Amino acid sequence: MGKRDRLSGNEAVAVAMRQINPDVVAAFPITPSTEVPQYFAAFANDGLVDTEFVPVESEHSAMSACIGAEAAGARTMTATSANGLAYMWEMLYIAASSRLPIVLAAVNRALSGPINIHNDHSDTMGARDSGWVQLYGETNQEAYDNFIMAVKIAEHPDVCLPVMDCYDGFITSHSVEVIELLDDQDVKNFVGEYKPKAYLNNPNGKVSMGPLDMPAYYFEHKRQQAEAMKNAKRVILEVSEEFYKLTGRKYGLFEEYKMEDAEVAIVLLNSTAGTAKAVVDELRSKGVKAGLIKIRVFRPFPVDEIVAALKGLKAVAVMDKADGFNGAGGPLFTDITSALYGKADVKVINYIYGLGGRDVRTDDIEVVYDELLKIAETGSVKSVYNYLGIKE
């Protein structure tokens, strides 16, 4: 059975990495993800893993090394944040389009500038169209669990896509909390042995990878990649079900918190969901029918499931910890409203919040629910695109 422990999010993910015992880890340090390769390098140095640890000179090289290693047939992982993720940019696309199931701990931090080391989601939101599966987690536990599941989702023959395990910098990465760890052997059995179909170091079937793709084929390969992303939705649910049987911890495409009879709801990602749950509890104790949806799987986006969950609500607030700079709303808001288009008539407003580590308190979340209740009562929306906790 599992072991109760207290770890920071980064420690927990490094432990997951040790338990998975990947073939290659290539990484370059950047706050707040640095601790992941740092702890892991110690594991490697102490002989607790068989991994080839590759300390590279930049994130571009880190992802390049991961691509090379994964293409050679090695189970490969890395970690980064913010500008490190941005510096991996072109390689992220190459990893995804080459269908290489690399796993990346993406410790969310504001993308400069102005330069800032604190948490928001501008880094991974920027990578949302790169072709990576993106899982988001509220707590150390979820960051750890998602990391283990990520391996299996990524390597599934119907997927073969890289996966980002996204969790909040500092709030989750550096905060010590209670966590339930799996036994090493259970993790090993769960992820199994990596058996890629085609890989460069296969002596029985030499292949070439990463070829020039002319107009005659390129589009078809992109279509294939899109299909893999669609398949990922089913595979994520299958892997999560298997994980549930092992641990008793249930994961879906998103978490519905007190949504059964909810009239108003907030939709958001990561650690702020926990703070918002405390507000939902408080409102419920006063008889207010408030609920919450925490997106776990952002790529692929659970379009139909979200429509079903939001249909019939009187008012919904989508909270984005990254601005879209399209003059109209954040990235999660855009996806939610486009999912609802033509399928459900729900009043949806958007709040940009917590940029650059602006702390989000229960009081802030109360402001959002108050606004939703006003909309539910009057049926009119004052403003769609809003900023929460900004100094006016």
Partner 1 sequence: MKKINWDLNNISWKDITPGGIVEVPGSASDTITGEWRSDKPIWDKDKCKQCLICFPVCPDSSINVSEGKMVGIDYDHCKGCGICANQCPFGAIEMVREG
Partner 2 sequence: MSKVVEIRWHGRGGQGAKTASLLLADAAFNTGKYIQGFPEYGPERMGAPITAYNRISDEPITVHSNIYEPGYVVVVDETLIDSVAVTAGLKDDGAIIVNTAKSPEEIAPKLRGYNGKVYTIDARKISVECLGKYFPNTPMLAATIKVTGVMDPDEFIKDMEASFKHKFASKPQVIEGNMKALKMSMEEVKGI
| Identity of the residue, 210 or 312, whose beta carbon is nearer to partner 1 in the bound complex | 210
Work out the burial of residue 285: count CB atoms within 10 Å of its CB; fewer than 13 is exposed, 13-18 middle, 19 or more buried.
exposed
Q: Which of residues 4-43 bind partner 2 (CB under 8 A)?
A: 6, 32
Interface segment toward partner 2; rule CB under 8 A; list 42-50, 208-216, 358-366, 374-382: 358-366
Q: What is the DSSP letter of 84?
A: H
Q: Which of residues 238-257 bind partner 2 (CB under 8 A)?
A: none
How far is the CA of 210 from the CAs of 120, 203, 204, 207, in angstroms?
Answer: 33, 19, 20, 10
Interface segment toward partner 1; rule CB under 8 A; list 174-182, 222-230, 240-248, 339-347: 222-230
Binding status of residue 90 toward partner 1 by CB under 8 A: no
Sign of CA pseudo-dihedral 35, 36, 39, 45: negative
378 vs 361: CA distance, rounded Å: 27
Q: Which of residues 156-175 bind partner 1 (CB under 8 A)?
A: 160
Closest CA to 19 of 199, 244, 160, 188: 188
| Identity of the residue, 219 or 244, whose beta carbon is nearer to partner 1 in the bound complex | 219
Candidates 25, 103, 164, 228; binder of partner 1 (CB under 8 A) is: 228
Candidates 197, 206, 230, 361; binder of partner 2 (CB under 8 A) is: 361
Q: How many CA atoms lie within 13 A of 127 on its CB side?
A: 34
272 vs 294: CA distance, rounded Å: 9
Binding status of residue 205 toward partner 1 by CB under 8 A: yes
118 binds, among partner 2, partner 1, none (CB under 5 to 8 A by kind): partner 2
187 vs 193: CA distance, rounded Å: 11
Residues 6 or more apart whose CB falls under 8 angstroms from that of 123 comprise 81, 82, 83, 85, 86, 106, 108, 109, 110, 111
Letters for 346-375 (x = contact with partner 1 by CB under 8 A, - = none) are ------------------------------
232 phi-psi bin (left φ>0, alpha ψ -120 to 50, beta other): alpha
Binding status of residue 258 toward partner 2 by CB under 8 A: no
Candidates 176, 178, 207, 381; binder of partner 1 (CB under 8 A) is: 207
Q: How many residues lie near partner 2 (CB under 8 A)?
A: 23
CB of 254 to partner 2, least distance (A): 16
Candidates 18, 75, 99, 118; binder of partner 2 (CB under 8 A) is: 118
Q: Specify the DSSP element, H or E, that contains 144.
A: helix 140-155
| Identity of the residue, 7 or 69, whose beta carbon is nearer to partner 2 in the bound complex | 7
Candidates 362, 377, 379, 384; binder of partner 2 (CB under 8 A) is: 362
67 vs 186: CA distance, rounded Å: 27
Residues 6 or more apart whose CB falls under 8 angstroms from that of 221 comprise 97, 213
| Identity of the residue, 78 or 140, whose beta carbon is nearer to partner 2 in the bound complex | 140
| Identity of the residue, 207 or 278, whose beta carbon is nearer to partner 2 in the bound complex | 278
φ/ψ of residue 290, rounded to 5 = -105, 145
Interface segment toward partner 1; rule CB under 8 A; list 9-17, 224-232, 309-317, 321-329: 224-232
Binding status of residue 210 toward partner 1 by CB under 8 A: yes
Q: What is the DSSP letter of 110?
A: P
Closest CA to 122 of 320, 293, 269, 339: 320
282 binds, among partner 2, partner 1, none (CB under 5 to 8 A by kind): none
Binding status of residue 209 toward partner 1 by CB under 8 A: yes
Binding status of residue 217 toward partner 1 by CB under 8 A: yes
165 vs 31: CA distance, rounded Å: 16
- Give the three-state DSSP class for 20: helix
Contact residues toward partner 2 (CB under 8 A) are: 6, 32, 117-118, 168, 170-172, 174-178, 271-272, 274-275, 277-278, 359-362
Contact residues toward partner 1 (CB under 8 A) are: 97-100, 160, 198, 205-211, 213, 216-217, 219-221, 223-224, 227-228
